[in-house]
Amino acid sequence: MDEPITYTVKGAAIETGLTEDTIRYYEKIGLLPRAKRKPNSHRVYRQEDVETMRMITCFRKTGMPLESMKPYLQLSRGEDLSSHPELYSMMEEHKRKIEHQIASLQQIVDFLDLQLQSGGTHLHKESCTLAEPEKRPPDPRFPI
Amino acid sequence: MDEPITYTVKGAAIETGLTEDTIRYYEKIGLLPRAKRKPNSHRVYRQEDVETMRMITCFRKTGMPLESMKPYLQLSRGEDLSSHPELYSMMEEHKRKIEHQIASLQQIVDFLDLQLQSGGTHLHKESCTLAEPEKRPPDPRFPI
DNA sequence: AGTTGACTTGGAGTCGGCTCCAAGTTGTAC
DNA sequence: GTACAACTTGGAGCCGACTCCAAGTCAACT
């Protein structure tokens, strides 16, 4: 039978763009499950683990705190979504947040376009004014 | 003549969703220019300043470090873009980054959609695999 | 036997971005 | 005149997310 590919911590780092330290840190804080060890106690990662790491970097790009990722990552490790209605609505909620975030980013792109096109014929601050509908201080980006 | 509207630090905070402390902090680190003071040394903000704050919150949503915002904010305070070619290309570069970020976010939305639709009929990790073209550790999100 | 290199661990340090605090000033209300 | 509220300042503290380090283990090579 064909041996499934595995990775050392360094290999996983190269594969994912994380650093070795960061991978170990993620394990330390319980974001990644404790990796299997070889007899010499070195970590071994399988393709599946690398995918999880890629998911983390992907989520991280959305500015999501590591702590908030945990439920999603646990879910994708074999859990059944339909049996976790509160996770389901968390995901819906999160999706809405990201869509809102995309809108913000698009505004900035528009803003930059304005600045770039007009070759500098002065300021255009009026765009970039979506702001949040709720204007209460406790910034509600990821309250979970 | 009609007096232009001004804001206290509290007023500006309410208007922008930042906290008073954060506004003062932004001034302290030079992200906002030193605000004009009343004779009693209280800060006074004009509409223009509030717009700048809104721009900051907008940029902040993209995960941009405060330090990296400074050139853009200075620019929008009266500078002429065409006379700063290096700023111009910085903005172009930044625009490209944000567009890339939007693509990443869209992937996550797609990923979440997959999870949500299939009601939990197991994991779909294969999406969310755009990753960055360059796979060197020093995360190049905003090196400026 | 000794050196090298890839790993292990626990813990300390760093950095960005706030957040909180104490002490002081000023302006208005009673 | 004294209490109160709304500010001021400088500086300390906090949290998240790393990042770095020292000391140790283990296998392979010379």
CB atoms within 10 A of CB B112: 20
Q: Say yes or no: A3 contacts chain B, CB-CB below 8 A.
A: no
Is A101's CB within 8 Å of B13's CB? no
A14 chain-B contacts, CB cut-off 8 A: 135
Q: Which residue is nearest to nucleotide C7 (CA to C1')?
A: A42
**Which one-letter amino acid corresponds to residue A107?**
Q
By Cβ distance, the residue of A84, A95, A111 closest to B109 is A95
Q: How far is the CA of B137 from the C1' of D26 (A)?
A: 27
pTM exceeds cut of 0.85: no
The separation between CA B73 and the C-alpha centre of its own chain, rounded to angstroms, equals 10
Residue B53 Cα, gap to closest chain A Cα (Å): 10
Instruction: List, for residues A35-51, the tens digit of each pLDDT value.
Output: 999 999 999 999 999 99
Work out the percent of chain B whose per-residue pLDDT is above 70: 76
Using the CB atom, is residue A22 less than 7 Å from strand C?
no
pLDDT tens track for B49-104? 999 999 999 888 878 899 988 988 877 665 666 777 777 877 787 888 888 888 88
- Give the amino acid at B72: Y
Encoding tokens for residue A107?
A: 């505004």
CA-nearest of B78, B29, B73, B74 to B54 is B73
Residues in CB range of B81: below 8 A, 6 or more apart: A115, A116, A118, A119, A120, B75, B87, B88, B91
